[in-house]
Chains A and B, each alone.
Chain A
Amino acid sequence: MSSQANAAVTSLWEGGRSPYAVNSKKFGMWLFVVSDALTFSALLMAYTYLRVSTPNWPTPFHFSPSIVFSSIMTFVLLSSSLTMVMGVHTMNHGNRKATVGWILATMAGGLAFVVLHLREWLNLINNEHITIFGNPMDVPLFGGTFFTLTGLHMTHVICGVIYLGIIAAGVGRGKFKAEDVEVSGLYWHFVDLVWMFIFPLVYLMSARI
Chain B
Amino acid sequence: MSAARATVAVVRSERAPLVDTLHEWVTTVDHKRLGILYIIYALLFLAFGGIEAIIIRIQLIRPHNTFVSPQVFNRMFTMHGTTMIFFAAMPLVFGFANYLVPLMIGARDTAFPRLNAFSFWLTAFGGLLLYFSFLGGNGLYGAGNAPDVGWFAYAPLTSRTFSPGHSTDFWILALLLSGIGSMGTAINIAATVLCMRCPGMTLGKMPLLAWLNFTMAGLVILSMSPLTAAQLMLLVDRYLGGHFFDVQAGGSAVLWMHFFWIFGHPEVYVLAIPAFAFASEIIPVFSRKPIFGYPVMVAATLAIGFISMSVWAHHMFTVGMTSAGNTFFVLSTMAIAVPTGIKIFNWLATIWGGKVQYRTPMLFCVAFLFQFLIAGLTGIMLAAAPFDWQLSGSYFVVAHFHYVIVGGILFTIFGAFYYWFPKMSGRMYNEALGKVHFWLFTAGFHLTFDFMHVPGVLGMPRRIYTYEPGRGWDIWNLVITIGVLFQAVATLVFLGNLLWSKLWGKVAGSDPWDGWTLEWSTASPPPAYNFPSLPEVRSRRPLWDLKHPEDPDWHYE
Contact = CB atoms under 8 A, between A and B. Distances in A.
Given A24-B191, A144-B242, A42 B112 contact: no
Contacts of A49: 252, 255
Nearest to B245: A46
A143 B236 CA distance: 11
A23 interface: yes
A141 B249 contact: yes
Contacts of B186: 31
B470 interface: no
Interface string B530-557: 0000001110000000000000001000
Contacts of A132: 236, 240-242
Given A34-B221, A133-B241, A140-B243, A28 B111 contact: yes
B229 A39 contact: yes
Interface residues of A, number: 44
B224 A35 contact: yes
A32 B186 CA distance: 10
Contact of B243 (A53, A131, A144): A144
B249 to A, nearest CB: 5
Nearest to B223: A38
Interface in A1-19: 9, 12-16, 18-19
B195 interface: yes
Nearest to A55: B250
A16 B201 contact: yes
A46 B255 contact: yes
Given A15-B200, A24-B192, A141-B251, A31 B221 contact: yes
Interface string B184-206: 00111011101111111111010
B191 A42 contact: no
B413 to A, nearest CB: 25
B428 to A, nearest CB: 32
Contacts of B278: none
Contacts of A34: 221-222
User: Chain B interface mostly helix, strand, loop or mixed?
Assistant: helix
A99 B240 CA distance: 41
A50 B226 contact: no
A120 to B, nearest CB: 18
B250 A139 contact: yes
Nearest to A132: B240
B233 A46 contact: yes
Given A38-B226, A140-B250, A148-B233, A15 B187 contact: no
B198 A32 contact: no
A16 B200 contact: yes
Contacts of A37: 225
A28 to B, nearest CB: 5
A209 B281 CA distance: 65
A205 B367 CA distance: 58
B128 interface: no
A82 B222 CA distance: 29
A32 B187 contact: yes
Contacts of B554: 12
User: Chain A interface mostly helix, strand, loop or mixed?
Assistant: helix
Contacts of B226: 38-39, 42
Contact of A35 (B198, B225, B240): B225
A170 interface: no
Interface size, B (range): 35 or more
Nearest to B218: A31
A25 B195 CA distance: 9
A9 B200 CA distance: 9
A16 B183 contact: no
Interface in B228-256: 228-230, 232-233, 236-237, 240-244, 249-252, 255
A36 interface: yes
Contacts of A12: 200, 202, 538, 554
B259 interface: yes
Contacts of A15: 197-203, 205, 537
B306 to A, nearest CB: 15
B366 to A, nearest CB: 33
A24 B243 CA distance: 41
B229 A42 contact: yes
Contact of B183 (A35, A141, A147, A148): A35
Interface string A38-54: 11101100100110011
A28 B217 CA distance: 12
Contacts of A53: 250, 252
Interface in B305-329: none
Most buried by A among B186, B191, B226: B191
B325 to A, nearest CB: 14
A193 B349 CA distance: 49
B294 to A, nearest CB: 16
A65 interface: no
A145 B229 CA distance: 12
Nearest to B190: A31
A43 B188 CA distance: 25
Contacts of B233: 43, 46, 148
A68 interface: no
A42 B230 contact: yes
A107 B262 CA distance: 36
A53 B254 CA distance: 12
Interface string B159-197: 000000000000000000000000100111011101111
Contacts of B229: 39-40, 42-43, 46
A94 interface: no
A75 interface: no
Nearest to A9: B538
Given A32-B187, A46-B229, A148-B236, A134 B198 contact: no
Contact of A24 (B112, B198, B224): B112
A28 B203 CA distance: 18
Nearest to A53: B252
A167 B187 CA distance: 21
Complex A-B, nearest 8 residue pairs according to Cβ-Cβ distance, in ascending order: A133-B241, A144-B242, A42-B229, A38-B225, A24-B111, A15-B201, A24-B195, A39-B225
23 contacts: A13-B199, A15-B199, A15-B202, A16-B199, A24-B194, A35-B224, A35-B225, A38-B222, A39-B226, A39-B228, A40-B229, A42-B226, A46-B259, A50-B250, A50-B251, A53-B252, A131-B241, A132-B236, A132-B242, A141-B244, A144-B241, A148-B232, A148-B244
Interface of A: 9, 12-16, 18-20, 22-25, 27-28, 31-32, 34-40, 42-43, 46, 49-50, 53-54, 131-134, 139-141, 143-145, 147-148, 152
Given A49-B252, A148-B233, 14 more contacts: A12-B538, A18-B194, A24-B191, A24-B196, A28-B187, A35-B224, A42-B228, A42-B259, A43-B232, A50-B255, A132-B241, A139-B250, A144-B241, A148-B232
